Amino acid sequence: MKVVEKYHAITVDTDKCTGCTHCMKSCPTEAIRIRGGVAKINADRCVDCGNCLRACPVDAFYVEHDSLEQLNKYKYRVVLFPSVMIGQFPETYTEGKIYEALLKLGFTHIFEVEQPIGLLIDEIKQEVKESSHKPMISSFCPAIVRLIQSRYPSLVENIVPVKAPHDLAACHAIELLAKEGAKREEIGTFYVSPCSAKMAAVKRPMGEEVSAVDGLIKMSDLYNHIMRVIEKEEKTDTAPLRKNLTLDGILWSLPRGEARHFKRNSMAVDGIHNVVKILERMENDEVPELDFLELKSCHQGCAGGILLTGNRFLTVERLQKRSKRYPHASSIDISAVSCLGIKDKMKAEPIEPRYVFALDTDRLKALDKMQKVERILCQLPGIDCGGCGAPNCHALAEDMVQGKAKMTDCVFLQNRYLNENKITIEKATKNLEKAWGKNRFDADCNRRGGRNEGF
């Protein structure tokens, strides 16, 4: 299989970072270390879940995206957005007003990515029915797919191999415009993302060579643009642009949006730390007999995405109200979409495991390192304080066997070695500076912490 360069949507602004460890403690894959007083991300372990961005009190983490100025490069400018974006707006702003604002911003075509969702539902049901690996796991959330690839590689075969709605919507839009005579190079497809994981998935799609999406826009950024141009009254009828939208599509990105189609033999879990717990149980064969598992990284599904502006609970409430005005997917005629060949493009290439948590590619060496980790842990205090710049004692022990840390990095062992005259005060100071930087221990009343925490 072709090896592609890793891409991550999240970047650390080292000028803003204070090394407070909030991000390090919240990362579900232990991908962050504090070095030189700032956060460093291990690209191999990062799954782009965005927990670090959510936890940071100084906004030192940011997500890069494309500018609306890039619209000018294309004759046909297609905006693709999940229904959860509509839920960001107070109910005084109708979907019609929001659609009008998007046209005013320069987009020529508008697609909510969950329409038509009926084709995708049928494809997933067929995959679940035919698979011998149960329960099958939804591939909708790219952060969860990456988490399974790296931390639970034995469960990769349980992932449903279908493409994401935004990829299918992009293909749908391109096919429709091509039918009208548009050339591919004239069409620009722009996806409005609710989270960093989906942005990374577009740049480096899992199980496929390239995405059909040309540009990425942060949902929070587009929200601000829309609020600047939105009108108080609707002037045009945009309802035809939503003719294939259904109740099932609107609810798709919320908890049980997928699982509800599998009746009793399914389960939905949201919140990445909750997902980790259920995957641990699944790996140990402790999950009851299920056909389908819906796992979403963010609490309340995509309504809790890190690139949204609104309260996730209000967003869910608005979407549930909105969905009641739309029909079920089963009542929508999707023959027109099927004939465009979208159904043939639903299947993704097999998803490969990524053994980034293995201590070595050689099994014997990996086993030896695991035993060394256990021996080192006997010497460490087990307090998981983070004073060494690693999230916990086990992570520090792993860093040690990989040659990335030393026993003296532990502040408790360092104190013991000082008392036993095994190291000098100068050496101990340098060890602390390696993680926390040279000026970290100087008095500073403006430093984040305590009354300046910013929560």
Q: Specify whether 200 is located in the same domain as 234.
A: yes
C-alpha closest to that of 93 among 223, 279, 282:
223
**Which structure tokens are listed for 50?**
């965005």
Q: Specify whether 123 is located in the same domain as 42.
A: no
Helix (H) or strand (E) holding 154: none
What span, in angstroms and rounded, lies between the C-alpha atoms of 330 and 369?
A: 54
CA 339 to chain CA mean position, Å: 32
What span, in angstroms and rounded, lies between the C-alpha atoms of 115 and 82?
A: 9
Q: Specify whether 288 is located in the same domain as 419.
A: no
Task: Count the Cβ atoms, other than its own, within 10 Å of residue 70.
Answer: 15
pTM score: 0.91
| Residue 157: strand pairing partners | none
Which segments of 75-234 does DSSP mark as H helices, in order? 95-104, 118-130, 142-151, 165-179, 196-203, 219-229
Q: What is the pLDDT of residues 252-271, one digit of tens each?
A: 999 999 999 987 789 999 99
- Cβ neighbors of 164 (< 8 A, separation 6 or more) are 139, 140, 142, 198, 201
Helix (H) or strand (E) holding 247: helix 247-251
Give CA angle at 215 (213, 219), nearest 5°.
105
Is the bond preceding residue 116 a cis peptide, omega within 30 degrees?
yes
In this structure, the dihedral spanned by the alpha carbons of residues 81, 83, 88 and 93, taken in order and rounded to 10 degrees, is: 100
Amino acid 451: pLDDT:
47
Q: Specify whether 186 is located in the same domain as 320.
A: yes
**Which structure tokens are listed for 230?**
């939105």
Q: Specify whether 276 is located in the same domain as 373.
A: no
Q: Specify whether 143 is located in the same domain as 52.
A: no
**Which structure tokens are listed for 318?**
């608005």
Sheet containing 266-270, strands listed edge to edge, beginning at the edge strand earlier in sequence = 136-137, 292-296, 266-270
Q: Specify whether 256 is located in the same domain as 388.
A: no
Collapse the DSSP code of 293 into the 3-class scheme (helix H, G, I; strand E, B; otherwise coil) and give the result. Answer: strand
Residue 342 CB burial class (10 angstroms; 0-12, 13-18, ≥19):
buried
Q: Specify whether 313 is located in the same domain as 387.
A: no
**Which structure tokens are listed for 380?**
């460490």
C-alpha closest to that of 211 among 219, 220, 224, 200:
200
Q: Specify whether 97 is located in the same domain as 18.
A: no
Amino acid 236: pLDDT:
85
Amino acid 207: pLDDT:
57
Residue labelled with tokens 């075969």: 157
C-alpha closest to that of 282 among 160, 177, 148:
148
> What is the chain's length?
455
| DSSP character string of 387-434 | TTSSSSHHHHHHHHHTTS--GGGSHHHHHHHHHTTSS-HHHHHHHHHH
Domain that holds residue 84: 68-345
Does residue 198 lie in a domain region? Answer: yes
When divided into structural domains, the chain yields a total of: 3
Q: Which residues of the chain have pLDDT under 70?
A: 1-5, 206-208, 331-343, 446-455
Which of 48, 63, 78 corresponds to the end of one domain? 63
Q: Specify whether 95 is located in the same domain as 239.
A: yes
Amino acid 3: pLDDT:
45
Q: What is the pLDDT of residues 398-443, one digit of tens each?
A: 999 999 999 999 999 999 999 999 989 988 888 888 889 887 777 7
Q: What is the pLDDT of residues 138-164, one digit of tens each?
A: 999 999 999 999 999 999 999 999 988
Collapse the DSSP code of 312 into the 3-class scheme (helix H, G, I; strand E, B; otherwise coil) and give the result. Answer: helix
Helix (H) or strand (E) holding 268: strand 266-270
Q: Specify whether 113 is located in the same domain as 16.
A: no
What CATH number does residue 415 fall under? 1.10.15.40
Does residue 441 lie in a domain region? Answer: no
Does residue 85 lie in a domain region? Answer: yes
Amino acid 411: pLDDT:
92
Does residue 150 lie in a domain region? Answer: yes
Collapse the DSSP code of 78 into the 3-class scheme (helix H, G, I; strand E, B; otherwise coil) and give the result. Answer: strand
Give CA angle at 413 (411, 418), nearest 5°.
95
What CATH number does residue 50 fall under? 3.30.70.20
Amino acid 86: pLDDT:
97
What span, in angstroms and rounded, lies between the C-alpha atoms of 158 and 292?
A: 9
Q: Specify whether 396 is located in the same domain as 263.
A: no
